[in-house]
Structure 1
């Protein structure tokens, strides 16, 4: 009489064990791939933030180079022109104009950062302000901070108020087509030599 063969049942158990093991391996592989993908995304984000922090993308506007076309450049002796995209005033000094400390300025273009060195308020140009109020009678038109009254000459020289120094300047270059390029990322602390920083402009 033939005996029953238990082989199919054993084969079924082995197959089930293989399937369970295959699922475990698939789960482990999925978790491993997910972990490495997450790490790669995190690292990529860190690198992008690092590059963004150091501004390696050649920005335009404030922080980069701003080009001012000839039609926006003030004539010598005219009121300064506000350049909002660069956060500066473009001044065209007429000879020693604005050189109230007599540093020896001979005129030219000057880019003055409009941020007050005191507490960072935006400094406007006041064409009607009389210098007699700050011991410079006869000179009309000054930069005057609305926050604490710091007053600056046309060359950004501080003559009154709590500001610790003159207005800061930005690097300026005259181009062949008559435009000027102002590097708003290159700001120099204001000093008595502001008038000497003016760039000649024909």
Structure 2
């Protein structure tokens, strides 16, 4: 009788140990999982914080875009669309595009293609006749397709609901004839846009 009771007692003790071992394993797993989750969450917050304040040099829009000499329009030619920087590169011939008689002398302008009215992309329309906006004889204008705001070749607003002229971006000429346009440095447009031209030989 005692011999039968001993194996039963041993079996119960063994089962109790196994149950306790499973509980401990489950608790350990939950503890490790919670700690790992907290560590990942904290790590992602830290990475986001450091990424936001990281002083890396962005390329494309928001950074400096280099336009090679072969992409720069000749003086008086139609503006060239630079999609990676979201701007139009204009090479004015003397006071061309200065319909408000501000006094530009010619050179390069980088015009942000976003309309100051509601943010539509403003295309260059080489066939648009200025007679429709009280500037007869001038063919070729920037004209917003959304609400009809019209701008001279220098980005000066002459017609429509836009509150100001097209914005300009900082432009510098390199020794090899290429230009750097800082798309992160945007100046609000005004009637003095032609005075911001950068001479280009």
**Same fold, TM exceeding 0.5?**
yes
C-alpha deviations, 1:134-181, integer Å up to 9, x for none?
A: 222222211111221111011100000111110111121212221111
Taking the TM superposition and a 5 Å limit, the aligned residue runs for 1:159-178 are 159-178=158-177
Q: Partner of 2:60 in structure 1?
A: 61
Matched with 1:104 is 103
Residue in 1 aligned with 2:198?
Answer: 199
User: What SS does the aligned partner of 2:185 have?
Assistant: strand
Provide Cα deviations, 1:39-91, integer angstroms capped at 9, x if missing partner.
22233334445566678654332232221110010111111111122221100
Alignment CA distance shift 1:55-1:90 (3 Å): farther
Distance between the aligned counterparts of 1:54 and 1:162, measured in 2? 38
> d(CA) in 1 for partners of 2:161 and 2:53?
33
Alignment of 1:4-15 (within 5 A): 4=2, 13-15=12-14
In structure 1, C-alpha distance between the alignment counterparts of 2:192 and 2:51, rounded to whole Å: 34
Is 1:70 the counterpart of 2:85? The answer is no
Deviation larger for 192-201 or 35-44: 35-44
Q: Aligned pair count?
A: 200
Distance 2:34 2:59 in 1: 38
Distance 2:51 2:91 in 1: 35
Q: Helix, strand or coil for the counterpart of 2:154?
A: coil
Partner secondary structure for residue 104 of structure 2? coil
Tell me the equivalent position of 1:153.
Answer: 152
Whole-angstrom distance in 2 between the partners of 1:132 and 1:52:
51
Given the two structures, how large is their TM-score scaled by the length of structure 2?
A: 0.85
Shift of 1:100: 2.2
Distance 1:4 1:179 in 2: 100
SS of 2:32's equivalent? helix
Q: CA RMSD in A?
A: 2.6
Alpha-carbon distance in 2 for matches of 1:132, 1:87:
29
